[in-house]
Structure 1
Amino acid sequence: MENLGMGFEIIAGAVVKLECNNTKKTMIQTATTDRNGKFLIEAHKNVSTYGAHKCKVFLFSAPHGLKRSNIHGGIKGATLRSEAHDLLGNPKYHLYTVLDLAFEPICPH
């Protein structure tokens, strides 16, 4: 974990889940954050730019005994934000992001 000040740290090894309900079956994919706290999920080809609004990213798990928080929708589902059309000059690729998600320490009772 890298300390960012004000009690915030980047977390490597956290698991996030992309869930889309715009196909006949719910599509779920997971990814693990890298040392920069970033993740990349390549959605199934059935997820179109027209149906991306039915997709959300959820916090799934974290190392170090942390619990999920709902900051920016980490528990209820973070909304995808469109960032780039025609990624890498290819019209079939579209980049979406979510706001920063956060975990919090588990408070002892």
Structure 2
Amino acid sequence: MDDMALIHALAGQLTRAAQENDWNQLRKVDRAVAQLLSALTLSEVTAEKRAALDQLRQVHQSVYAVCKQRSEALKQKMQQHQRQRSGLQAYALFSLQEDV
């Protein structure tokens, strides 16, 4: 696969992995992007390739923002669960004391 096809394929894979909440695939694609960028530092980057890389960068930034947003939502859910758990534990302790 040539560089242009690979760049476009990686952009599509990033988008699909984020849409499907496939975090393992997202991590693999992110590594593939890093490898591609490392390999491209050794080669000549044409204007066409630079435009494709810019598009890939935009997709990557968009996916990163989605991941950050979902991470924050998960953090809030976990904090809410912890608060509810603490309340339930206190209630259970109070109920046990009444039985005594």
**TM bucket normalised to smaller:** under 0.3
Q: Indicate the structure with greater helix content.
A: 2
* TM, length-normalised to structure 2: 0.24
Question: Which structure carries more relative contact order (alpha carbon 8 Å, separation 6+)?
Answer: 2
Q: Indicate the structure with greater strand content.
A: 1
* TM, length-normalised to structure 1: 0.23
